[in-house]
Amino acid sequence: MQKRLLHPSRTVALLFLLLIVIGTLLLRLPLSQAEGQAAPWLTALFTAVSAVCVTGLVVVDTGTYWSPAGQFIVMLLFQLGGFGLMTAAALLGLMVNRSLRLRTRLLTQAETHTIGLGDVSSVARVVLVVTLVCEAAIALALTLRLHHGHGLPWGDAAWSGVFHAISAFNNAGFSLHADSLMRYATDAWVLVPVMLGIVIGGIGFPVLQDMRAKRLDPHRWSLHTKLTLAGSGVLLAGGALMLLLFEWSNMKTLGPMAIGDKLLSALFASVSARTAGFNSIDIGLLSHESWALHYLLMFIGGGSAGTAGGVKVATVVILLLLVVAEVRGRPDSEAFGRRVCESAQRQAITVLVLGSAMVVLGTLVILRVTELPTDKVIFEVISAFGTVGLSTGITAELPPVGQLMLVLLMYVGRVGTITLATSLALGERRMPYRFPEEHPIVG
């Protein structure tokens, strides 16, 4: 039993659970609540899980329910949750010892999906540099805009800028405003920096490391990098176009806006649906077609080993390549002059099936304990599992059982797929024998 608990992927999951417990206890303190009272256990737990799992679903308004100290704790939790506990530990070890022990390398490799142990240090440094530079740049841009463009005092503008910058880069979706970013729906100087933070943080640190190391020769980029970038580009552009089509005449969302503002809001919604959780238009007023589109975008999510959630872009692209190969009668899945290995295909299928099973389970449980519309429940469940944070407005209405189900989905969405993929990769072994082969009928 002890050996199983010490497995790197399981250790990472337990460390995230420990951070959730600490966050819950801190948010329970009277100093964390705006009125100086101890927050209810479920409220503190739900907020801590949502922050650590960089989701953004809330049962209370972050800007008014929590005190400045409580808001800082929430921000610290989603910074650690997005940055990565083991990545932080690896960086600390590098600063103290200039090297990493094998155990730390294995744990960091499990969390960051680093290909080899030799890559751990370089990926950890990329995580640190990219995180600090991006968050600082976005915070500066937002602070200047909020002060000069919206009249906020320097102190309020700086705090709001820093909070939203860290939330955006970590794809956390937490906002100090009850309407998220709807008040800035037509302000490109606010939405564009937030979008850049979401995309850079959610693309995946291995992709950023690969692009940094081989930036002068994209042909040398790994297949993972190419698949992630290509898939992300298609999803972002396709999502924006579909939202424009569905919402162009919807007078409750994009309808009253000028053409330029419609384009901006549609692009922002497409970017944010990839697990960021901010919204510049009211999600509850979207058409049913747009909700269905969000199901897909939220479930897929962003890049592997980044701050985004979902089953990940590369997973879905690998499965599409497998389908194309099967339809064309080819034995191998191929892309960019490379063949996708069979173990990656098996892992992709497993992640997709288990992810779908979690969504179905969560939907059935919440439907059993509520009388809410099915489409809204599905939206909430996928948002929780994909660690997105978008909501049609029913989170606070759910009974305790429903909210606890979302807590489980957020936790599994943040660490479950990581644990699963790493366990499959590290647990792969060659069997000394193979059974006789048969071909069952499919379809």
pLDDT at 113: 52
Mean pLDDT of 258-267: 95
What is the model's pLDDT at position 350? 86
Mean pLDDT is lowest, of 37-51, 322-336, 416-430, for: 416-430
Average pLDDT, rounded, for the chain: 86
Q: When comparing pLDDT for 404 and 430, which is higher?
A: 404
Percent pLDDT > 90 in the chain is 63
Residue 105 confidence (pLDDT): 54
Between these two residues, 429 and 116, which has the higher pLDDT value?
Answer: 429
In terms of C-beta density within 10 A (0-12 exposed, 13-18 middle, 19 or more buried), how is residue 97 classed? exposed
In which residue are the tokens 């002890």 written?
Answer: 2
Tell me the pLDDT tens digit for each residue of 54-66. 999 999 999 999 9
List pLDDT tens digits, range 329-387: 888 899 988 999 888 898 889 889 989 999 999 999 999 999 999 999 999 999 999 99
Residue 122 has pLDDT above 70, yes or no: no
